[in-house]
Chain A
């Protein structure tokens, strides 16, 4: 049995009096891609933020590489360096060039040598097809290009897991493809990813497993083909009936 990269055990999360995650359990194996579906407000972003320790959970446990992240002795900043997250709104640093956005983490969080970091950054830029834009600033790029840089920025930390929160939702429809293509490449290269998304076709094509979050509960987790073609739960069938068909 392969050891899990990440394991959520009965995670509960409350904002003030309102519980938004009601005991979520999910595993993520090394090299696995899991897509997290769910209508707006179901708690996808909250779940990803909890894993990255940007939110504190009320009960349950998050096990990352066999270690509980709720352990008091754990260094939160150290954990975050191993768990990358990319946001819907890119959140690039506007005062830094594309290159500096990518190198900031490795240089200032990991304290790695500059020459090595630069080489890697140029490699990443090559991979996202933006090598010629290294010196540009984020506001000189299109939304799709910015999101690709944001993904490269997360990758530059060489995370063990990459969390992606609806990374195409803020994009012009014509730009969605280039970002999904990049994610597809990453999946082929074996990047471990948990992807919150509304892109059904992408989930079917790329995910190993698909999970549906419904009002803070994981109602169904299944291999992609099963999930779309043989849904077991009423909530899944209902959810799939409300979104465009995939094949």
Chain B
């Protein structure tokens, strides 16, 4: 419906023809997609591969690191108190600053500090560090909510059987917590997929950057359309999956209540 209106506007509005030429020209779109090394044009598809691998690498790191932060934050052992405080500061900090600033600070700051090998990494590495730092803070909070949602009687039942704290966490709490948070985790992953576009600010030629180069050289915006379509190809299935899981969750809860 909305799409139909947009299509109609593009077709009928004055200037619609120009817009079509700028954004939807098939020849330009194709050229931007496959690139043109002779004219220094990077292929958008190749740039998009960068988005994909970054997203996959960061996602794995974020899942592990976020869980670690959440577990530390919820631990009750006195030995971990300093780490617990650190995890609180960490999540507040990285949830509170715009991700693009984190990218600048890590991507330009670390290389500028002449810290030996830490300052000699490629921009892609810095980009991954920045995305992982920020998203771990978000995901840690998602995990934490999930862990808190597991009823205490589950912990009591497990401890009463003689399972130690670690075993209780591993076999009783986390399996239930993670099941609860799969939909919100997928939501964060959709954001992460889109935010890989921000790595272009560090001069990395991802799909966004390739599209941008194309538009500035050919004065045509079809590249942006191509890049957008590629992102949609990735995020829409993920969104559908998330919605399905949420719906399934709700129907299960309703069935439980009735």
Contacts and interface: CB of A to CB of B under 8 A. Distances in A.
Interface of A: 52, 54, 77-81, 84-85, 87, 89, 91-95, 104-105, 108-110, 139, 153-154, 157
Given A95-B179, A139-B256, A105 B163 contact: yes
Given A54-B156, A89-B153, A91-B153, A153 B161 contact: yes
Nearest to B179: A95
B167 A108 contact: yes
Interface string B145-166: 0000000011011111111100
B32 to A, nearest CB: 48
* Chain B interface residue bracket vs A: 10 to 19
A236 to B, nearest CB: 31
A155 to B, nearest CB: 11
Contacts of B161: 80-81, 104-105, 109, 153-154, 157
B251 to A, nearest CB: 13
Given A104-B171, A108-B167, A91 B162 contact: no
Given A91-B154, A94-B176, A95-B179, A52 B160 contact: yes
20 contacts: A52-B160, A54-B156, A54-B160, A77-B159, A77-B163, A78-B162, A79-B162, A80-B160, A80-B161, A85-B160, A91-B154, A93-B158, A93-B172, A104-B161, A104-B163, A108-B171, A109-B161, A109-B162, A139-B256, A154-B161
Contacts of B158: 93, 104
Nearest to A156: B161
Nearest to A92: B157
Candidate in A84, A92, A108, A154 with the most chain B CB atoms within 10 angstroms: A108
A84 B159 CA distance: 11
Contacts of B179: 95
Nearest to A108: B167
B31 to A, nearest CB: 53
B175 interface: yes
Interface of B: 153-154, 156-164, 167, 171-172, 175-176, 179, 256
A93 B158 CA distance: 9
A96 to B, nearest CB: 8
Contacts of B256: 139
A154 B161 CA distance: 7
A153 B162 CA distance: 12
A158 to B, nearest CB: 11
A14 B159 CA distance: 22
B160 A95 contact: no
A77 B167 CA distance: 11
A184 B153 CA distance: 27
B153 A80 contact: no
A147 to B, nearest CB: 13
Nearest to B166: A108
Nearest to B176: A95
A85 B160 CA distance: 7
Contacts of A78: 162
A92 B160 CA distance: 12
A109 B176 CA distance: 19
B176 A108 contact: no
B154 A105 contact: no
